[in-house]
Amino acid sequence: MQWWASAAAVLRLEWLLLRQHPKLAAACVGLLFVPALYALIYLYAVWDPASHTRALPAGLVNADAGARYRDRELNLGNEVLEAIERHGQFSYRRYTDAEAARRDVRDGRLAFVMEIPADFSRQAVPGEREGAAKLTITTSEGNNYSAAGLARRFAPEVAQRVNTMLGEARWELVLSTAAGSQRNLQTLHMALADLHQGAGELSQGLRKAGDGGVQLAQGSAGAAEAAQRLRGGAAQLAEAAPQLAGGVRQVGPLLRGLESRRPSDAELQALRTGMRQLVDGQRELGLGLDALSAGGGRLGEGLATYRGALDDVPLFGGRLQEGLEPIEDGARQLGAGLDTAREGSGRLLAGAQRADEAVASLVDGTQRAGQALAQLGQRLPEDQRLDSFVDGSRELARGSDTLATGLRQLSAGHEALQGGLLKLSDGAGRLDTGLELVRRSLPVMVDSPGGSARGLAASVEPVLDVIAPVPNNGTALTPNFVPLALWVGAVMTAFLMHWRRLAEPVAALPHSAQLAGKLAVPLAVVVLQALLMLAMLVGVLHVPVPRPGPFVLTLLTASTTFLLLVFALVRLIGDLGKVVAVLLLIVQVSAAGALLPIELSDEAFQAIHPYLPLTWVVRAFRASLFGAYGGDWLPALAHVMAFAAGALLVCLLARRWRVVPMAHWRPPLDIE
């Protein structure tokens, strides 16, 4: 209890300064916010610079004149600028005057300018040599070194993008060419197959033509014999033609004479009419004879009746009967004659009817014969036609001679044709064999690359598997800069308290109690600084804290350790220790691996890297905030605590105090 009372006595004297000097208390309160404000200003400024590059002005100049490549007009400069503007990485401005763009860079109105030269397409598209096409990027490091750094990183990005575009275009051309070659090869295969088939058909046709030639030879021989016979017949026709023409000339007058002697149509019609009247009269005669025969019969019946009546006549009855006998005989003869006449009349009627039919046929035949004679007379050739017939017969005779001569020539030409067909057939066979060899030798398909133009141009795409991911640049800098801010807070806290002076009333108290009383207020300040830092990170910058417990413990441990380290330096070398603390901060920024991997630093920094407290504070922050190093934050924090224990041990060993009377117990800073 006596130790705690001693420590409280020292603390009361330290607290007395704060109560007697309100400005000191106010400065102490203000100091609480320094680390958080320091970290806020810096981290907020660099929180996510990539999201603000769109506001950075950059110039674009396209002087590309374009190029013609494989029947295609290309202007790669326009395509590059359009792709860059679509990406929208910076605030781009188009320029037509390159000198004006460079002047804006010199004057600070542009961060950089990219120029595409006039021969860009002509050099880039063929790809004859590496780096033939140039992209000029002009920037000013003196204006802004960071902007110049962005320009330096922008150049290879654009080059890679252009090379990817060119690769896609070239592969697209390769694929289209391969596809066209495949189609052409297929067409060639089909054409060769058709040609091979045609050659086979030609060979067969030539063999058939040879067979036909043999038949033609046989036919030619037969035609020659027929031509000889035709020649003889033509000669005979030529001899008979004049006689035939003379006979035809004689037939014409005879036909015209017959036609003039032929009965006229009126006479023939009168003959036919008379014959019909004869038939009608004969028919009427038959009817009269029938009537007479009927009357003779009645006459006989009357005489028989009369003879019966005479038997009853006295005296003269016998004589009358005798007188009736001749009459009866006459009546019988009359009946017999009438019967004979009736038979003759019937035969005469039948003959008359047949004669009428014959007359009708005769009349019709005579009329037709007359018409035929007239037509025959009309169709007989004229004398000029007959002369032409005679001349034609003579020409036929002469043509048959020419035909015979031509057939002899045809026979001779056929022999030559037969020899040519044999040679042609042999050539067709060789052609068929050669075409089959070519068809078999051609590849079935073109070995074209598969895939797409974009896949062939960029077939490899890196896949980044991020362990312990970080949301943005500001969050990434939090483990680096927060310890720096806490160190600055600890150093500034050292300026508010007497860390080598001790008031006379507590000079005789135990040394450890004196240290406890001296450290109580500064420790409270740095703890509050750490808590305010936490509030700023979570509430203002919205830094995600997946493991709050380890992170808060790391904050508090780091603040306490930094304060103890500064306190130990002051206890050892006085106020010069505060200067050493600032210098140590600068060394730790370079050697703790906070901003760059320690492997990229100088060997001297690599050597002292494990022995710096900031090294382990940064490691503990990264482990507790991001889950880095497998999330194992405790070993790093143990190293930090070891530094705190070492600093506390130094403070316990450094026993020298500068004792001052209460009249001179004033703040270390002149704040009145």
Q: What angle do CA 82, 85, 91 make, to 5 degrees?
A: 150
User: For 171-225, what is each residue's pLDDT tens digit?
Assistant: 666 666 655 556 666 676 677 677 767 777 777 776 777 777 677 667 767 767 7
pLDDT for residue 521 is more than 90: no
Is there a contact between 592 and 618 (Cβ–Cβ < 8 Å)?
yes
Q: Note the pLDDT of residue 641.
A: 94
Q: Note the pLDDT of residue 460.
A: 40
Token code pair at residue 15: 């607290």
pLDDT band at 637 (very low <50, low <70, confident <90, very high): very high
Name the more confident of 131 and 535. 535
Beta strands in 305-389 (DSSP E): none
Instruction: Give the torsion through C-alpha atoms of 105, 107, 111, 114, to 10 deg.
Output: -10
Nearest CA-CA partner of 165 in 463, 449, 462, 458: 458
Q: Note the pLDDT of residue 533.
A: 87
Nearest CA-CA partner of 486 in 47, 44, 36: 36
pLDDT for residue 525 is more than 80: yes
pLDDT for residue 84 is more than 60: yes
Q: Note the pLDDT of residue 632.
A: 86
Reduced to 3 states (helix: H, G, I; strand: E, B; else coil), residue 113 is strand
User: For 436-492, what is each residue's pLDDT tens digit?
Assistant: 666 666 565 555 554 555 554 544 444 345 556 777 777 877 888 788 888 888 888
How far apart CA 350 and CA 624 sit, in angstroms, is 155
Q: Note the pLDDT of residue 275.
A: 74
pLDDT for residue 304 is more than 80: no
Is there a contact between 283 and 356 (Cβ–Cβ < 8 Å)?
no
| pTM reported for the whole predicted model | 0.51
The length of the chain, given as a count of residues: 672
User: For 306-354, what is each residue's pLDDT tens digit?
Assistant: 667 666 666 556 666 676 677 777 777 777 777 787 787 777 777 777 8
How far apart CA 95 and CA 63 sit, in angstroms, is 10
Tell me the average pLDDT of the chain: 74
Highest mean pLDDT among 45-49, 153-157, 164-168: 153-157
User: For 382-394, what is each residue's pLDDT tens digit?
Assistant: 667 767 766 777 7
Residue 48, by phi and psi: left (phi above 0), alpha (psi -120 to 50) or beta? beta
Highest mean pLDDT among 266-280, 476-490, 556-570: 556-570
Percentage of the chain exceeding pLDDT 90 = 7
User: For 624-634, what is each residue's pLDDT tens digit?
Assistant: 888 877 788 89
Over residues 137-153, mean pLDDT: 72
Highest mean pLDDT among 13-27, 412-426, 603-617, 632-646: 632-646
pLDDT for residue 370 is more than 90: no
pLDDT for residue 59 is more than 80: yes
Highest mean pLDDT among 287-291, 382-386, 419-423, 485-489: 485-489
Over residues 495-505, mean pLDDT: 76
Over residues 1-15, mean pLDDT: 66
pLDDT for residue 263 is more than 50: yes
Pairing of strands 57-62, 112-116: parallel
pLDDT band at 100 (very low <50, low <70, confident <90, very high): very high
- Enclosing H/E stretch for 73: strand 73-74
pLDDT band at 644 (very low <50, low <70, confident <90, very high): very high
Q: Note the pLDDT of residue 137.
A: 86
